[in-house]
Amino acid sequence: MNLQGKAGTYSNSDFSISGPSSLCPNGTGSYSSTYINNDITEYRWGWGTLIYQSGQGTPYLGVRASTSFSGGSVVLQLRNRCGLTGTPAVRSISRGSCGFRIAVSPNPVSTKLTIELTKENDGVDFDSKKQTTNLIEPIKVLIVNSHNEKVFSETMNSSQFTIDVSGIPNGVYYLKIGDNELTSSTRVLINH
């Protein structure tokens, strides 16, 4: 649908929000408008109980879930020359099946990033019962930039490993860990 130059305000049926439908406590999420065009003068995001990180006014939003996150939503309204959308687009976010807590060091990192995964037992409070084990099944490890573009992707089968980040440009990135659906993430600052 080409909406450029639309003579009127948008409705939430004209656009939607892409991004993860679940987050883990302390996990981060990157969301974006499905409609990105130069006729939009403002992208107005709302994030409810999530913690804002970046992107207000742009097509992209970065948020973090609190340690007590149990669910929430991200909302978006677009403004063009005719005004702000009446009803915002909404993306509901549930608490994910949060299988891992990620510890990274050093952070900020210049060359070698060490990652340690702590496996969470399903249905058990993470802080009261946790275990670090060698993972039996391989797990996907990604590093993405603030636009959710992959800069590193590999499959690991250990709970502790090191990644060489010396070839990745300076900036803020998100390390994402998961199997079929990425389940845990943390922010990493690369500074050579």
pLDDT tens track for 115-134 = 987 765 443 343 433 444 44
pLDDT of residue 136: 43
pLDDT in tens, 60-97: 999 999 888 888 999 999 888 888 877 889 999 988 76
Contacts of 91-95 spanning 24+ positions with Cβ under 8 A: 91/16, 91/17, 91/18, 91/19, 91/21, 91/31, 92/21, 93/20, 93/21, 93/22, 93/23, 93/29, 93/50, 94/21, 94/22, 95/22, 95/23, 95/24, 95/25, 95/65, 95/69, 95/70, 95/71
User: Does the global pTM surpass 0.85?
Assistant: no
Would you state the structure tokens that stand for residue 38, as one six-digit string? Answer: 């130069």
Where in the chain is CATH 2.60.40.10? 17-95
pLDDT of residue 62: 93
pLDDT of residue 139: 79
Classify domain 100-190 by CATH architecture. Sandwich (2.60)
**Residue 135: count of CB within 10 angstroms of its CB:** 16
pLDDT of residue 162: 93
pLDDT of residue 76: 94
Class at the top of the CATH hierarchy for domain 17-95:
mainly beta
Where in the chain is CATH 2.60.40.3080? 100-190
**CA–CA gap between residue 92 and residue 19 (Å, rounded):** 10
pLDDT of residue 143: 92
Please, how many CA atoms are within 13 Å of residue 122, restricted to the half-sphere of its CB?
A: 3
What is the DSSP code string of 119-140? Answer: EEPTTS-TTTSEE----SS-EE
pLDDT in tens, 139-187: 788 899 988 899 999 988 788 889 999 999 999 998 888 754 446 778 8
**Residue 150: count of CB within 10 angstroms of its CB:** 10
